[in-house]
Each structure stands twice: as structure tokens, then as C-alpha cells.
Amino acid sequence: MSMGTSLSATTPAAAKAPGLDAVQLGQQLERLAGDLGIERWDLGAACSTDTSVQVDRGEAKQLKGAQRSSITVRVWNGDGLVGITSTSDLSKAGLARALAGAKEASAYGNANDTPAFSPLAGAPLEPLDQPIQDPQAILSLLTTLKEAERDLLGRHAAITTVPYNGLAQRASERIYLNSAGACRQQQLSTASLYLYARAEEAGRKPRSSGAVRLAYGASELDIAGCIDEAAELTISHLDYAPIATGYYTCVFSPEAFLDLVGAFSNLFNARAVLDGVSLSHRESLGDSLAVPFLSIHDNGLHPGNIGASSFDGEGTPVSRLGLIEDGVLSHFMHSEATARAFGVAPTGHAGLGAKVSVGANWFEVGSGSSAGGAQGLDRHSADGVVWIDSLSALHAGVKASQGSFSLPFDGWLIQGGETRSIEAATVAGDIRQVLKALVGFEGEAKVTPDGLCPHVWVEGLSITGDA
């Protein structure tokens, strides 16, 4: 198996497509499985080549490269039970050991919930417009990032460091194969830039903020936009004040609202429903979950989704799926097994495992077909409104199975025509109440790394501050 580790010494650029050979891999697995008496198997394989740079005040901080490969094999034993094993060893010996491990693990497969091949693993895929970009030399990435850092540092005297920064590019490939002949393969190139600045004025607390950009290649990154956004946000937090604890109308930035929706995506997750850890039940479809002007779709195929996959871990095509339509819970996200349990088709949201996980791809939030909600909202002319730019610590402050959240945030209080950064505060609530307390949307929907969303107004949220 060629993993493409040979790189030029002088121009160690090369995030070249690593080159998995699906046909060879399939034939190899077929032979090895036959030797072990395994008739039914599938596999997911991925490999990638990454290069990234970080800088610190004009100097290279760390330059990184990585060649990664991984494979997960899944086998069905004579009793129809499933076992898996994952490995980074794609040699023939590694594959043989992985198959043997999966076979052994299958003895402990769950007879009550056995995955099968997706009935859609051979269905046509939607074409994706994902141009493969040539990688840049790492020293070129370094020069670009140094210039970006210098530009950002020059935007304001208080911006003294950009402690978190990175410019990275990746070439990757993934494969899904099964013993019934399904064969999926996708190649992708991506690049990312993040700049997170720290600013401090004499006698005041340090403040920080940042921005991220994604593209199909480093040459396509909106570097100027990333610098502008990081500078603007960081400077905007320099003049800060504590906020009084109380209940406020909040305006969520697209990124913040998408973070909140993502944290509670078990609402739409059939796996979580079957496991009893979702806020929804099997019978919840058709329930009014939100204000009638809210619609949320999952659309991994949206052109704004850099890094979109055309198929999920089981080979099922990814497609657009309505989750909340006009305020009503309309569909769950499914794997093959959950879809079978619900009597519907898989939706393209599966991982690959003995117990298959289900997860969202990329959200679209908006008003859908139903007009409504307050019109002409403009946070800049509002009074007593909290503008939440970003939420933190979702891993700790979200109780997904309970619906509650209490999260630190960065944002501003808009009062009396003045927009002032909030020193340190948390926002708390219940996602079910949030979805019912939407006031309306402001402005055009914005493409973010996690989805498409406008600014979202929500009334009556609890804010804890230090004033």
C-alpha cells in the first residue's frame, strides 16, 4: 500500500493525495476474510497527509507534518453477530490481525441490535463540486502566516500576541467497501486558517477573540477577511464592563446559535432516541418543537460545507433532510440500524461500528417556508439586548439529555445606542424553551464552518454577570 510518505527535502510541501487503492484493498480483504471463514464484511478506510504551521511574534513556532492512515473492519460471524477492529496498520499483516480481532470481538456482538449493510450503499451519489487544490510548500505557508500575524499585530497597539494561530492544509481520501460489492471513494483537499489574538491595555484585563476560515486550498483562503474579523472582534472587546445578572433578550451570532443546535442535536438523533438519552421520543415526530417560523435542515451537501462527504460511514448517500420544518419536528437522522428500527430509509448520518453512531453533517437554520417572527430586527439600534458572539465550554456546560445549558460567552451589551463588551458572563437556559422563545431572524444567513444561519433573536434568557 502506497501511503505517499516520500517528500521533497527542499520543498516539503506536499499534501498530495495519499492514494488508497480501493480495488487492491478490497481484493486483499476478500482473500484474508476467506482464510478466516468470514463471508460478510465491510470496511471504512481513510488516509491523509497534513502540513501545518504556527508562528509566534514573527518567528516560526512549530511546523508539523503528518501522514495518517486508518482502517476499521467490521465482520459478521456465523451467528450474524458483528465485531469490529480499527488499526493504523494497513499492511497485509495488519489487515489480517484486524480481521481476526473483529472476528473475536463478534462473539460479544449485540444480538438485539445488529447492523447490516445499508440498502443504499450502492445508490447513486450526488456529485460534489470539490476542486482538488495543489498543496503549497510549507515554507510558503509559513511566510503567509507570518504576514497575517504581522498585519493583525499592527491593527491595534493593545494587540500584543496572537497566541493561537495556525495555517494548515490537508489532502485526504476515504473509502467504504463491503463484501456485497459496494465501493465508495472520495478525495478531498482542504485548508484552514485561524487567528486568535490577545489584547491588553494598561490596568485592564487581557481580552481575546479570533476568526477562522476554511477553503479547498491554501491559495483560496480569505486571509484578509480572517485578519479583519479577528482584529475587529478583539478590539471590540477592549472596552468592557460587567453586566448585571438578569433576564435579557439575546441575539445569537450564526456561529453561536449553530453551536447550541449542534450541542442538542440528540433532539434529531434516532440513535439517541432508541437509547433513551434523547429529549425526543419515537412518537415525537410531528410535535411542535419550536416557533412556527423556524426550520432546521441538515444538509451536508451544501456548497458552503467545505469538506463535505458524499456518503456516510456505511456508504449511504448524504442528502438534505428536514429536522424541524415550520416549527414541527419532521425527521430523525438515521443509520442503517436505526432506520430499520423506525421502518424508514437511512439518511446518510452514520458512522461505522458494531454499534453505529449517528451524527449531524451541516445545519441550515432559517425561516423555511413559513414567514413570521419579528421583521426588520436590527441589534445595533436595540436597547438592553445581549449580543452573543461565541459560546465556550460546551463540553462541560451542556446537559444534552436534560436539555439545559449554562455557558460562558463572549459578547456585547447593546444599550442606549452603545455597544460595549461584556466582561465575563454566562448564559443559561433550556433548549426547548429557547426554540419556543425565538423572536425572529436578523439579516441574511451566513455560511460558517458548521452551517448556514442568520443572527437569531431569543427572548428571556438568564445572564449571570459580575455587576
Partner 1 sequence: MVASPPLALVQLDPFDLSWRSRLELVLASGRAAGASLVEVFLESTDHIGLLAEQDSITNVSPAFGKGAGIRVFREERDGFVSTNDLSERGLMAALEQALGMLGLERGSSDSSRFDGLSGLRDYGQSKQAWLDHCPGLGEATSRLLEGTALLERHGQHLQARRGSYARDWQEVMVAASDGTFARDIRLHQSVGLNALAADGEHRASQGRRYGSSDRPDDLRQWDPDASAAEICASAQAMLRADYVEAGSYPVVLANRFGGVIFHEACGHLLETTQVERGTTPFAEQVGSPIAHAAVTAIDEGLSSGAFGSLSMDDEGMEPERTVLIENGVLKRFLSDRAGELRTGHARTGSGRRQSHSFAAASRMRNTFIAAGPHSPADLIASIETGLYCKSMGGGSVGPTGQFNFAVEEGYLIENGELGKPVKGATLIGEAKEVMPRISMCANDLELAAGFCGSVSGSIFVTVGQPHIKVDSITVGGR
Parallel/antiparallel/unpaired status of strands 385-391 and 246-252: parallel
Closer CB to partner 1, residue 89 or residue 222?
Answer: 89
Distance from the first to the final alpha carbon of the chain? 62
Residues making up the chain, counted from first to last? 467
SS3 content of the chain, % helix, strand, coil (to 5): 20, 40, 40
What's the closest the beta carbon of residue 103 comes to partner 1, in angstroms?
Answer: 11
CA distance 80 to 75: 9
Q: Within 13 Å and on the Cβ side, how many CA atoms surround 203?
A: 1
Closer CB to partner 1, residue 59 or residue 283?
Answer: 59
Q: Which helix (H) or strand (E) holds 277?
A: none
What's the closest the beta carbon of residue 44 comes to partner 1, in angstroms?
Answer: 13
Closer CB to partner 1, residue 262 or residue 403?
Answer: 403
What's the closest the beta carbon of residue 84 comes to partner 1, in angstroms?
Answer: 6
List, in sequence order, every residue forming a beta bridge with 429; answer none if it has no partner: 405
What's the closest the beta carbon of residue 305 comes to partner 1, in angstroms?
Answer: 25
What's the closest the beta carbon of residue 433 comes to partner 1, in angstroms?
Answer: 11
What's the closest the beta carbon of residue 327 comes to partner 1, in angstroms?
Answer: 20
52 to each of 10, 55, 101, 124, 439, how far by Cα in Å? Answer: 16, 10, 34, 35, 42
User: What one-letter code names the amino acid at 332?
Assistant: F
CB 67 within 8 A of CB 18: yes
Closer CB to partner 1, residue 81 or residue 445?
Answer: 81
Closer CB to partner 1, residue 155 or residue 399?
Answer: 399
Closer CB to partner 1, residue 116 or residue 183?
Answer: 116
Closer CB to partner 1, residue 375 or residue 395?
Answer: 395
What angle, rounded to 10 degrees, do the helices at 138-153 and 223-236 form? 30
- Which DSSP string do the residues of 125-152 spell out, in sequence order? PPP---PPPPPPPHHHHHHHHHHHHHHH
